[in-house]
Amino acid sequence: MGLDLVGFSSRVLPINVGHGADRRHAGGGAAICHGFFTDTRRRRSNPRATLKDGVVCSPVDGGGAESTLCASGPSETPSRSGEVTTDLGRDIADGIAASQKSSAGRSKGGRSWRRVPNGDKPVRNGAPKRVHVRKNSQVRRVLVNDANVNAILSGVSRESSIEECNSVLIRLEKHSDVKALDFFVWMKANGKLEGNADAYHLALQAIAWKEDWRRAELLLHEMVAVSGCRLDARAFNGLVYVCAKRRLVDWGTKWFHMMLEREVQPNVSTVGMLMGLYQKTGNLKEAEFTFAKMRECNVKCVNAYSAMITLYTRSGLFARSEEVIVLMGDDEVIPNRENWLVRLNAYSQQGKMEEAKFVLQSMVDEGVAPNIVAYNTVITGYGKVSDMQKATEVFDSLESAGLAPDATTYRSMIEGFGRAEKHTEAISYYRKLKGSGFQPNASNFYTMINLIARHDDNEGATEILRDMRAAGCQCSSIVTILVRAYGTVGKMHQVLPILQSCLYKKILYDATSCSILVTAFVQNSLLEEALCVLREKKWKDSDFEDSLYHILICSCKEAGSYEDAVRIYNEMPKYGIHPNLRIACSMIDVFSTMERFTDAETLYVELKASACVFDMIAYSVIVRMYTKAGRPEDACSVLEDMEKQADIIPDKYLFLDMLRTYQKCGQLEKLTDTYYWILKSEVECDEAMYNCIINCCGPAIPVDELSRIFDEMIQLGHLANTVTLNVLLDIYGKAGLFNRAERVLNMARRQGLEDTISYNTIISAYAQSGDFRSMTYFVQKMQDAGFPVSLEAYNCMLNAYGKSGQLEEFSAVLQKMRRAKCDFDHYTYNIMLNIYGRKGWIEGVAYVLSELKSRGVEPDLYSYNTLIKAYGIAGMPEDAVKLMQEMRIKGINADRVTYTNLIAALQRNENFLEAVKWSLWMKQTGVVGVGTRA
């Protein structure tokens, strides 16, 4: 079954449960044994098996017939008259041939097995082709022709005894499963199977090689129900043996469970084969079950204990492996050499070297001479704990033990010294390994390269690289190991000189190795070395080269080395007339990040003029470029081009860019279309998408639809951010949906997401609706939440009280603002001008103007519009005209509201001719825009 020794390549004297003798063709009537036994190297310590009634009997199994048949096979069988009955044998051969043809015909629709007595209908399943089995003397078949079959069958007749028929069956089974099974059918037809368990055992194993498991189940049933045989472990061992050889875990487990269900006692062979199967396949769960059943049945299979220790050690369950070692002592199972070795390995893998030394001494005390594997295990254990002094002592003791170091010994020493950071000793044993005629393995190469990189041994690195190349390692693998080792210790600058001394020319001709090296240089900010390799490379593959340059540019971009990305791009060879779309898009992104928007746009224009067909990624990059440049109108133009390509389906990120771009441009219709496009697409809406939809599309879609999308967002467990909640407050407030607005504000307060803007928004909504009570209430709530009343909130109250004519409250708010030392803004002064102007309070207007100018703030367009209207109401049209002239001097362009207020002021004071002149002047100047607030 073998051991699982990490770092070892020596053979570990495996105990194989298999055929007891070679299955090759045996001539001259030699006896052929098909029994199960342990390795021949253990025969000295085990009692010799005996032959009893044609059956190999093992003392461990109590002398029972637990092994498959063993009988002599004469080359010819005498008849009753003493003559060879060759004619009858030929008849039997002909009958078998006819049976084969009949079977072939029945395979199309007939049954190959008759109905069993219990009424179960046999189902013939097509047997799968036998999988390829590696050549092995224990399982090899020798093909026979019809003449050989005739020779084997020449000595049998209908009057032959069961023993004689069994002998022929044995000889056929070792040559051909098909011939053996056809003869088995003949035996059945001639009454030779009654109580003949041996024949069934042979037939079961032949069927197992064909993996016709349904047929095997039927045969087991027939064996008991029809032929009156008793099921024992031998009936299942042949099936389990094939499963173990072919690593068929499921079927091996099934046969074992069937044994237990039918109360068939497993023997040592059964357990040994199953545990070997589970060890090879790493099936710990089934191994534990089988091991427990073995102990329940009081079967003592030393190989099972070895397998459990190995499985637990391999899985890192060292405490469990030690428990199995204790169980062996409790069960009084005597360990063999292999078991000693797995014990030794279990302790060495943990670094428990005192226990390992005790196991090694116990081997000697029990008369089991340790082999090289035992010493290698101990050396590996000392290497794991970096106790190389003890490892060296064990190595030096090999000669006194009469053993010579093998490849594994040297490899273990190299690994141990490498782990202990002993550079000189490691390189010494590395050279001893080669001097002894052994080849370093991949682990040695990896250890040595990493050790040399940490100790600045460039000559040693050159030696290792040459050895790796001589061992058949690919250049790409060598370069990968080298750059990883030197990159880890921050010495990538030493890689190029090392390679130039041994493998550089080979690398220049290998595109894969070259790309690995160049990429490593770029990732370690060694741009000059990377460009040097790119200039000197000898391979030519434009597509591969484009991919390489794209990877390099993206590596620089991810590292934030944008100048390096530009240098690499400028070094690119120009093979074709059309630019590479992927590289161009990456460079547009790089230039945009560097705010070199002119270069980015130049690349975009080149792409647009070429035959390149833009994809979704290209449009995303270009839209983002214009967005970063503050040119949303150009981004909208790009999106229009994209919509003309029906095959472009935006992803989540492009949809987000589209929404933000259309919002900046105020294109509500486009926002609506994009929103419904998102709903129809298969893009999964996440938290960012929901927030962006509400923020951007809120004014563009119906309020009910906005509420639906918000409710859906909350039900899915996504969190709204502060901006989203403020947008909802604004939309609900303007729509007069104050209950919804208050629910949103309460949600923001519970989640700690409210801010000054939240309260300003809801205060403004109530102010505009004239609900002064609610407006005052939320002003108080704003203060209770720890926010000072903002200038915006005061302005809302001023405007609301002023327009409603509540001048006392208006004045009270002004006094609060002055006491709070609020810095009035243009909007505050404009509100005051508007209210005083409506009342015709020119003194108040003048006071506001003087205060405005005293603070160094000039009136804006809205202020002038308000003043002109106020002078008109106060009957001062000349002052209104002077304001218009003052606006021209200050470079403030009048809008439609300005002219409208001036004309109204003139008309109000019966200056009709002057009003007509200004009206004609307004038309001549082409002022048709919508005025600002008045």
What the block records as the tokens of 650 is: 């935006």
Q: Of the given ranges (174-178, 468-472, 549-553), which has the lowest mean pLDDT?
A: 174-178
Contacts of 308 (CB under 8 A, 6+ apart): 275, 287, 288, 291, 321, 324
CB 723 within 8 A of CB 695: yes
Residue 138 has pLDDT above 50, yes or no: no
CB 191 within 8 A of CB 228: no
**Residue 670 to residue 658: CA distance in whole angstroms:** 9
Q: What is residue 143's predicted lDDT score, i.e. its pLDDT?
A: 47
What the block records as the tokens of 442 is: 């991949």
Mean of pLDDT values over 541-561:
93
Q: What is residue 513's predicted lDDT score, i.e. its pLDDT?
A: 95
What the block records as the tokens of 300 is: 């003592």
How confident is the model over 823-861, as pLDDT tens digits? 888 888 888 877 877 777 777 777 777 777 777 777 788
Q: What is residue 14's predicted lDDT score, i.e. its pLDDT?
A: 33
How confident is the model over 194-251, as pLDDT tens digits? 888 999 999 998 899 989 999 999 999 999 998 889 999 999 999 999 999 999 999 9
- Of 409 and 931, the one with more pLDDT: 409
Find, among 296, 314, 211, 207, the residue nearest to 259 by Cα.
296
Q: What is residue 872's predicted lDDT score, i.e. its pLDDT?
A: 79
Q: What is the CA radius of gyration of the chain?
A: 47
Burial class of residue 805, CB neighbours in 10 A (0-12, 13-18, 19+): exposed
Place of tokens 């898009």: 585
Q: What is residue 146's predicted lDDT score, i.e. its pLDDT?
A: 58
Q: What is residue 172's predicted lDDT score, i.e. its pLDDT?
A: 84
Place of tokens 């609506």: 672
Residue 38 has pLDDT above 60, yes or no: no
Q: What is residue 147's predicted lDDT score, i.e. its pLDDT?
A: 61
How confident is the model over 634-693, as pLDDT tens digits? 999 999 999 998 888 999 999 999 999 999 999 999 999 999 999 998 888 999 999 999
Region class of 15: left (phi > 0), else alpha (psi between -120 and 50), else beta: beta
**Residue 467 to residue 29: CA distance in whole angstroms:** 55
Contacts of 318 (CB under 8 A, 6+ apart): 312, 346, 349, 350
Mean of pLDDT values over 52-69:
33
Q: What is residue 927's predicted lDDT score, i.e. its pLDDT?
A: 67
CB 149 within 8 A of CB 168: no
CB 242 within 8 A of CB 212: no
What the block records as the tokens of 374 is: 């035992």
Residue 907 has pLDDT above 60, yes or no: yes
- Of 11 and 879, the one with more pLDDT: 879
Q: Is the dihedral of CA 384, 385, 391, 392 positive or negative?
A: positive
- Of 758 and 930, the one with more pLDDT: 758
How confident is the model over 560-575, as pLDDT tens digits? 999 999 999 999 987 6
Q: Of the given ranges (343-347, 447-451, 738-742, 849-853), which has the lowest mean pLDDT?
A: 849-853
Phi and psi, residue 740, nearest 5°: -65, -40
CB 619 within 8 A of CB 581: no
- Of 932 and 781, the one with more pLDDT: 781
Place of tokens 């390269």: 449
CB 161 within 8 A of CB 191: no
Find, among 237, 223, 314, 233, the residue nearest to 274 by Cα.
237
Phi and psi, residue 19, nearest 5°: -65, 145
- Other CB atoms within a 10 A radius of the CB of residue 772 amount to 16
**Residue 659 to residue 588: CA distance in whole angstroms:** 21
CB 806 within 8 A of CB 784: no
CB 611 within 8 A of CB 578: yes
**Residue 351 to residue 331: CA distance in whole angstroms:** 27
* Nearest-5° Cα angle at 287, 19 to 296: 90
Q: Considering the chain, what is the average pLDDT of its residues?
A: 81
How confident is the model over 687-720, as pLDDT tens digits? 999 999 999 999 999 999 999 999 999 999 999 9
Percent of all residues in the chain with a pLDDT value above 70, rounded to a whole number: 83
Q: What is residue 721's predicted lDDT score, i.e. its pLDDT?
A: 93
- Other CB atoms within a 10 A radius of the CB of residue 473 amount to 15
**Residue 683 to residue 679: CA distance in whole angstroms:** 8
